[in-house]
Amino acid sequence: MRKIPCLLLLVFLILFFSCKTTKPVVAEKSFVFPADWIGHWTGMLSIFNEGRKSMEVPMQCLIQPAENQDEYHWTLVYGHAEKEDRRDYVLKASDAKKGHYLIDELNSILLDACVLDNKLISAFTVQNNALTSVYTRQADQLIFEIYMHMEKNPSVTGGAVVENDTIPEVKSYKTRVYQKALLQKAKK
């Protein structure tokens, strides 16, 4: 009989000490796209390949309303001064309510881009390379990322029957290049 009160005391103590106070979970701010993204963003772009950082260059992203409603000037600038590589695009709303936009490269190329959470994501292929670009609006930053893999020579696995389950064939690719920039809004 003495075991029951001791057991209850032990359970109580375990519960009591396992209920530590922790910091409250604060939901990340949800930004309105593209209104809360407008501005001149600057930082350094790090480029990784073959398992290491291979280069770092200054980067800017300028996002401004265009003359036409539902369009925005979206400019990327790599490097600086005489070695500047400037890329001017126009972001066009295709179905803004569903988060679907088009990135017009102003040379007959239109890239689909979708807003999911606080991210603008675009996936495309060019010259046997598959790229995914991700812009993330977070706190006081705009984070820019690119993932690239070659479309040829995938690793193919699956396509078998395992314990009466038909496993689909899966193609996987080695990510060859990763680029990342943490951009801060420039002071006026």
Kindly report, residue by residue over 60-99, the tens digit of the pLDDT.
999 999 999 999 999 999 998 888 999 999 999 999 999 9
CA-based nearest residue to 104, from 95, 116, 113: 113
Residue 50 has pLDDT above 90, yes or no: no
Q: Report which secondary-structure segment, H or E, holds 81.
A: none
On whether the CB atoms of residues 156 and 150 are closer than 8 A, the answer is no
Checking if the pLDDT of 170 tops 50, the result is yes
3-class secondary-structure state, position 97: helix
Instruction: Name the percent of the chain lying above pLDDT 90.
Output: 80
Residue among 36, 144, 39, 33 nearest 99 (CA):
33
- CATH class of the domain comprising 28-185: mainly beta
- The predicted pLDDT at position 28 comes to 63
**Residue 138 pLDDT exceeds 70:** yes
Report the pLDDT value the prediction gives residue 55, as an integer from 0 to 100: 96
Provide the residue ranges of all domains of the chain, joining segments of one domain with +. Answer: 28-185
Alpha helices in 19-144 (DSSP H): none
Which of the pair, 5 or 144, is modelled with greater confidence? Answer: 144
Q: Decide if 185 contacts 60 (C-beta within 8 A).
A: no
